Amino acid sequence: MRPRPVRLLLSALVGAGLAFAPVSAVAAPTATATATAGALDGCYTWSGTLGEGSSGEAVRQLQIRVAGYPGTGGQLAVDGQFGPATEAAVQRFQSAYGLAADGVAGPATFEKIYQLQDDDCTPVNFAYAELNRCNADWSGGKVPAATARANALVTMWKLQAMRHAMGDKPITVNGGFRSATCNSKVGGAANSRHMYGHAADLGAGSQGFCALAEAARDHGFTEILGPGYPGHDDHTHVAGGDGRFWSAPSCGI
């Protein structure tokens, strides 16, 4: 877990009644805090509660954080609309962390999210640098740089969910986003999801390639390639995006 001194200081100030202004957002807008919302967060602060029928940026930000809980074989749309799929994802997130699983995102749910994210909006166990070993500005892919970076953020939250489900053991990320040039250098597919920011290549770590491929099925990854699939005996590839293609024959997938 990376240190979060700004958030810890704010929590102390709020508890003492001394916090008067919100923290400047780093990668997302900061919502106005209310007296019941708890300490301000360095990335994003929700106010009130969200449930089925809610819509807008607050819902979209929530969907990013629960993107890893769509259910087996599913993928949660990050569209700012709180429908049945988002409610179910929130319930699974709540259950995973021992919260009351009512599907309504309120103070307890948001506090857990605050604990899980750093001030740049990445989950505490993953970083943008891990998801981009190609260039510094996310340019040159199949989508605009800002879109590739945003897609990578969703990918990280899916990995965070997967990591928690696997006992909170570290997951090794060997690479993620690629520009067309970087993709060509490594012999990637012409329309590789790496060029959209959707993909990550995982090392075996302590879990093993097959366990990672198996777990990925439950956490929003629509493309899973692993041992037994050509060129993937030395890593497990996971990605979001349209369609679904899973192939890791040596793992029974």
Tell me the pairing of strands 245-247 and 236-239.
Answer: unpaired
Tell me the pairing of strands 245-247 and 223-225.
Answer: parallel
Q: Which of 194, 219, 232, 237 is catalytic?
A: 232
Phi-psi region of 126 (alpha: psi -120 to 50; beta: other; left: phi over 0): beta
Catalytic (active site) residue 232: yes
The torsion of the CA quartet 181, 135, 155, 186, rounded to 10 degrees, works out to 30
Helices (H), ranges, the chain: 5-15, 57-65, 84-96, 107-116, 145-165, 180-185, 209-216
Sheet holding 245-247, edge to edge: 173-175, 199-202, 236-239, 223-225, 245-247
Token representation of residue 143: 């989508």
Tokens 């019941």, located at residue: 36
Residue 2 has φ and ψ, to the nearest 5°, of -85, 150
User: How far separated are the first and last CA of the chain, in Å rounded?
Assistant: 32
Largest CA distance in the chain: 59
Tell how far CA 110 is from the center of its chain: 15
Show which residues are catalytic: 232
